[in-house]
Structure 1
């Protein structure tokens, strides 16, 4: 077992915009895009003395010793990938204490970075108040407050700012009541429900690829001396509606149900029922707490956000024992 150390770090979380759709349409292209991302970004991260901690599907987890190194690296990354076809990124940055185990980091502050990233505009950067306080000391950087959403599984208050200098696009300003979790009841299906099969087909394929890899390769952590749950077990938490329109709650609930249906077809995979997981809709409990209550090794959580005719879908597969992101 790798030795654990605590340290203060600036955490950067990135993912590729539209990667689910690309994978559904052209899997070889998606795999080449991952390789291109690695080849393009690693030299930039090394230039700013960053640590390439983990790749999670199309997502990256990076850490830096200073805020300036992290923000300058992120800006250069976004300016560089502008010229790379299909490599369109969102970036979220937060600073806090992390627990480092070998080539991995974990902790609540790591989760904050991953939770704020979806609020970035494509090609943009969002940061928390801790990062923004450092940027205010240097007039070279300009930011704009976009909101203080209630982030799922995060108990600390988080204010999000969009970097608007250096040619970065401004993030969408959130309404006062914006949340990643929406406790309002789902309305009856509307005419827009005809779009659901197409949306579910795209994300469903990618999610099942990631889950299938996890299930059959296994996350066999040597430190688990007395496993109390099956490694091949999963709960799919209700997908969150991040849109301003309550009608989109139907899309989020429909996505959860379709994924549950497809997962139940995988032999030897224990899938928690919809009845059991719906009580966690809008919960503030941590992944570890939910995993312990349901007796599962992994949890899949996700969100749906629609702006106009565009739909943004995210999904994360998390190890309930150590809160590690296995796939995103």
Structure 2
């Protein structure tokens, strides 16, 4: 493989193979080959329907490539549904069932073929799938969640052959009754309503940032600390649980804070792309403030278990590293609006801040 002929790109990879292929061949070679060719025709048509291409089909395997992860998963579902309909007319011993793996990853393309870990992971996920089932990687799940009428079950971080790092794996639930179901997965609600916990934090920051309009004489230390110009970076909230799915819960809180704080006029809010470069890194706050050009940092942590949530939030002066404000909040996600009201009252009391209805409406839009 030479550099002149090979190129790298991101692709959605679908890998499929036949369950018990050796047994089927042993029982009826000619019949199995005939059935395999019929199934390949179904798969090739489905791939074409979803703007993909069949890259290779060695033995009982089919490898396909897509520009869109959503289309790759939709194709996998269509394949399984059509094969299920075909198998319904056959005896159990004659049925040909495929297992499918889908991954989004970096691949090397040379003369129409694709290679690399992106392909290998798709093949390993295929082995984790149930017969007539689909298993997708965490990178693929991140792209399709909430976009298709499907359910998903997180099956953990899997150690797979020849891949150094564990791979997050999710089974796709294709039954209509499972649409929207997320087993072991933190479900993200629609924009403006999901992560209501983040709304709790809004008032922590807002009470400090809009000080020049609303801070009373009872809060001189906050007023003095904020100074003339307000600029802030919201750092990724730490996941204090061993559950990898909660990583997205904390990231979601940070992202929603960035989005909503950006709605405030005359407030400089650093973008997610810049703030998240510090995720998982041990860097002094003074260095972060200098590199991002901000005076204040908001950092925190999230712990969630059995419907209960605990959020720790701290507002930090990036110039000195001193904490200007810190608080811990405990509540239940099933009654998150009541928790929000409770926290709002606590913040208003501690800062002697009164938020107008217009301010609150702007932040919840």
After TM superposition, the score normalised by the length of structure 2 is 0.44
Higher helix share: 2
After TM superposition, the score normalised by the length of structure 1 is 0.49
